Amino acid sequence: MLQTTPSPMTPGPAALRPAGDTMPFVGTTTWVKAAMHCRFNIAPLFKAAGLDTQGPAPQIRTEALVSLMRDCVAAAAPTMHFPLVVGELFAFDRLPELDTFVATSPTLRHALPALDWVRLLVPTLHIRIEESGAQAALVVEAALPTEDERLKGCFVECVFATINRIARLALGDAAQAEGIYLRHDPGAALAACERQFKVPVLIKQARNALVFPTRMLDMALPGAMPGLHEQAQSAIAQQLPASAGDTVVGAIEHAMMASPALLGQGIERMAERFNLHPRTLQRRLRDEGQVFADIQARCRFHLAVSALKADSSDIESLSERLGFADRHSFTRAFKRWTGLTPSEFRQRERSTAR
């Protein structure tokens, strides 16, 4: 087994952890497309999982996410292995700039910040790069409420399939990994994994890792476009919350993005969520130079922009979901943020997309 030293990207301990167990459900469209590819209807499975796909940021309980994966794997078998199909088709519905950022990177090393962004968007997955001399490894850990290693491993397979697709697009024939290590035994799906990854897949290992030559991190990529790369990075920085768990501000932003209902409530409710006295939370925010109302406005802006770009819900319903007293309050706030009303912003986005 490759012995490595973690890179500086390895996430540190969390400062605060929300007491809830819901998380953003990213890639909704991808799951739908994967189900269509595997020839089954995913709608009743979404309903059984309690997933609301109509909101500005679909949420799902972690237990329900595990059950949803189990049901999808069963529905696709034995003809298809659902995790591999999801990974091959995966794209972040609400953060399309992420694909642009990776595709236009000068090298894979320049694309590494995307791993931290994935950690913010999918908090149950921890992904890092480890380097040791001539070998490097992309290590994946899945923090999910199940003792079923094979089911937990399905999420790991999704990640590896996505990385495999991105590497092929970025490096072409040069995208040659040395092997994949899995903690679990995929069973009958092992042959499908080896066909898709085209490298040896070792099972029942100490960790989940995709091993590759370190030199690949610094190979010049043919699709490098520095200008577009920087634009994508700037757009992502405006849409993502701060690093959840690294600061009090980041933890609050993560909680609001994961549970938009908190946006209409005050600092007292947020303090209760973190088992803190409101004055203690206010003091910690002052120490970080932040004000609760500013964090609330920032999260409202992120969710509003995502919703106006991604769905056709009416402005009245959206303003209610974002915790505004009425549509007029939402319109005034959005115009202050962007110079446009929500309707004007949506119309501009649709015109640009044509």
pTM, rounded to two decimals: 0.64
Quick one: pLDDT band at residue 327, thresholds 50, 70, 90? very high
CA atoms of 283 and 211, how far apart (whole Å)? 45
CA atoms of 187 and 179, how far apart (whole Å)? 18
pLDDT tens by residue, 45-68: 999 999 876 655 678 888 999 999
pLDDT tens by residue, 6-39: 333 333 333 343 434 677 787 788 999 999 999 9
Quick one: pLDDT band at residue 1, thresholds 50, 70, 90? very low
Residue 49: its pLDDT value, please? 93
DSSP per-residue letters across 257-272: HH-GGGGGS-HHHHHH
Q: Has residue 85 got a pLDDT over 80?
A: yes
pLDDT tens by residue, 233-263: 777 766 665 444 456 777 788 778 767 778 8
Q: Are 288 and 247 in contact (CB under 8 A)?
A: yes
CA atoms of 84 and 134, how far apart (whole Å)? 28
pLDDT tens by residue, 254-292: 778 767 778 888 899 888 877 788 888 898 888 777 889
Domains and CATH numbers, the chain: 5-218 (3.90.1520), 244-353 (1.10.10.60)
CA atoms of 66 and 154, how far apart (whole Å)? 9
